Amino acid sequence: MTVTWRGSTHYAFLVVALSWLIGLGVDLTFAAASGGYQGLRTVRAADSWELLFPATAFVALTLARRLLPPLPRWRVILTDGALYTVVLLVCAGIASWAAGYDVPVDGAFAMGVVSLFNLQLPTAWLLSTWRAGRLEVVAGGTGARLNAGTRRGPRGPQTGGTASWTTFDERGKRCTDAGPH
């Protein structure tokens, strides 16, 4: 079984775009409230290196959902939450290095803390939780299993019966359809 390209790109787009926009909105609100708003230069998106993160995170989450087997919701949250955070730190480190910081790692971890305060990371984690249960899963070459008529009886495995495909729906519930597909 595998997650479709459409499902994985939709998932990644929602998680990355909405969490990033909420982070920018909260940053802009903090800047306006503190009197430090100076036009679009205040917003992180004004720096072209800052735009590296949404593109990289979108590609990373899309490939993670597409290439990894369908996981239970809690594992999707842990995997994608950690991946999102690592991509954020790496991209912030690259942006800090491009800006000429002496120690780009400090800038990366400062951005990680800012992303907690501006609700970017918590939003990404919540969106991942919400979207993980709605991923589009299809039977692929490795995921669909053909049950060749074996069943468990009171005395162990028994043969006989018809062959059937065992697949799972998007919530992980087992669906069995008799006959070849």
pLDDT digits (tens, 9 = 90+) for 78-114: 999 999 999 999 999 998 898 888 888 998 999 899 9
Contact yes or no for 125/81 (Cβ under 8 A): yes
Contacts of 44 (CB under 8 A, 6+ apart): 23, 24, 27, 50
Q: What is the pLDDT of residues 44-78, one digit of tens each?
A: 666 777 789 999 999 999 999 999 888 888 898 99
Distance separating alpha carbons of residues 162 and 149, to the nearest angstrom: 5
* pTM for the full predicted model: 0.72
Cβ(8)–Cβ(66) below 8 Å: yes
Closest to 27 in 3D by CA, of 15, 16, 40, 14: 40
